[in-house]
Amino acid sequence: MVKRALRAMAFAIVFLGEFGPWDPGSLAADGGVLAVASIVPLGGFCRELGGPHVEVEILIPPGASPHVFEPRPSVIFKASSADVLVYVGGGLDRWAHRIVRNVLKREGLVVRAIDGLELLPLPGHIRGERDGEFSVNPHVWLDPVLAMEICRRISKAFEDADPLHAEDYRRFLERYLGKLHRLHEEIARRTRRFRLRRYVAFHSSFSYFARRYQLEEVEVIEPLAGREPTARRLAKILSVMKERDVRVVFAEVQLNPRAAQIIAREAGARLVRVDPLGGRPPYGEDYIEMMRHNLDEMESAMK
Ligand SMILES: [Zn+2]
């Protein structure tokens, strides 16, 4: 643990003082792998895939939205001491990208969730690069099939960081992929029976989920999470809902539901409260339980 603290300090000096590259030396030298994840679902994957060999830290506290989160120096310090840093990318956790660029120099120990996946554009955004990150829809973890892909890469990073336990990591991966596959089959089976398949999203968090299970996200209330819609936009959304007979509105537990409530009330639509991030009772950091909860919520309104 002393070694890790020294390494973190050295990283912090590099990060804050621009001392140039610093070789982190042998990894997991003090026995365990430290995985740092930007958001709860990615941290949950790390716990499942790392078992007893990996210590997991999550940077964004439950209840906070990564879209508006600004890390304090202590968070940067924690991230910089990671053997494996797992973040989303796509402009969601832009600060994590800065940490990667400035602090972590070593190849293969950074897992950016969006890499190699077929991405969707972010509604209301022009796709472009800023700070080395694209404005794509970053909510890839909410499609369990893409989650399987992300888990494969996390597991590979654990193997690289700690080759001694490679066999265990492969075993944990197989077990968890099996669970994710069963989750996917359950969601596919239950969403197939939804009578109402169109919804207005609060922000575009379930777009990948909708693509996978053939639901239709007709409108988005807050294209940029945390920015409230104007009266004119509310009116436009209401008219589209009427035109396309949309009777479901999603609200999200981390973001102010006011606009979604107003729209649902005005349109006579049902309000569904979904959670894209987890970390709350009863499911806590368990991704599969969180997704079941979301599925139950949707089913109660859309079946
Ligand atoms: Zn989001």
Q: What is the pLDDT of residues 179-230, one digit of tens each?
A: 999 999 999 999 999 999 999 999 899 999 999 999 999 999 987 777 788 8
Centroid of ligand 1 to alpha carbon of 226 (angstroms): 10
Cα 205 to middle of ligand 1, angstroms:
5
Residue 133 has pLDDT above 60, yes or no: no
For strands 129-130 and 133-134, give the pairing.
antiparallel
Confidence tier at 26 by pLDDT (50, 70, 90): very low
Q: Name the CA radius of gyration of the chain, rounded.
A: 20
E strand segments, the chain: 33-37, 54-58, 84-87, 110-112, 129-130, 133-134, 198-201, 216-220, 248-252, 270-274
Q: Average the pLDDT over 61-79 and give the result.
A: 83
Q: How far is the CA of 49 from the centre of ligand 1 (A)?
A: 24
CA of 69 relative to ligand 1 center, distance in Å:
11
Total-model pTM: 0.86
Separation of CA 165 and ligand 1 centre (Å): 34
Distance 39 CA to ligand 1 centre (A): 11
Check residue 124 and give its pLDDT: 56
The rounded Å distance from CA 73 to ligand 1 centre is: 23
pLDDT of residue 20 exceeding 70: no
Give residue 217 CA to ligand 1 midpoint distance, Å. Answer: 15
Mean confidence (pLDDT) of the chain: 86
User: Which run of H or of E encompasses 166?
Assistant: helix 166-192
Residue 31: pLDDT band with limits 50, 70, 90 = low
Owner of token pair 């050295």: 10
Confidence check: pLDDT of 130 > 90? no
